[in-house]
Amino acid sequence: MFHYTVETSKSIEEAIHSLEENLKAEQFGIQWQFNVKETLNNKGYELENPFIVLEVCNPEEAQNILSKNQIIGYFLPCKIVVYKDNEGKTKIGMPKPSALIQMLEDESLQELATDIEKRLIVCIDKSM
């Protein structure tokens, strides 16, 4: 699977707050928060459920990986989404860095992507 997704009993706001704290422990920060529902509604389109995209970054890891292959910048910062599904359940998920990196066909980067993925999964799991 190209993604990792969990369900939480927390509200969207609680999940984001928890993620922010857990990401800090791994030296990741939330660079930007994109409220898709709000943006679409402001443009005259309706999205029924909340959908927030968080762009997260660890500056040291970003510098390290970009110095090896700048094309990886197409994937950065890493995305974590927090949303309500059609059944009203809060979900936290992300595209797996290990799956994205496979598109570059550069085996030397797989280990880095897998390490980052594991750390982000720990943050997501702790935020449930």
106 vs 21, more confident: 21
Q: Where are the alpha helices (DSSP H) in the chain?
A: 12-25, 36-42, 59-68, 97-101, 110-126
Share of the chain above pLDDT 70, in %: 100
Question: How many other CB atoms sit within 10 Å of the CB of residue 18?
Answer: 19
pLDDT at 108 over 90: no
**Percent of the chain whose predicted confidence (pLDDT) is above 90:** 93
What confidence category does residue 60 fall into, taking pLDDT thresholds of 50, 70 and 90?
very high
pLDDT band for position 105 (cuts 50, 70, 90): confident
Distance CA 11, CA 8 (A): 8
The reported pLDDT for the residue numbered 106 is: 83
Encoding tokens for residue 117? 């993925």
Q: What is the pLDDT of residue 29?
A: 96
Contact 97, 120 (CB under 8 A): yes
Indicate whether 80 pLDDT > 90. yes
**Distance from chain centroid for Cα 9:** 19
pLDDT in tens, 37-58: 999 999 999 999 999 999 999 9
3-state helix, strand, coil in the chain (%, to 5): 50, 25, 25
User: Closest by alpha carbon to 19, among 59, 56, 58?
Assistant: 56
Q: How many CB atoms lie within 10 A of CB 73?
A: 11
Residue range 19-40, pLDDT digits in tens: 999 999 999 999 999 999 999 9
pLDDT at 100: 93
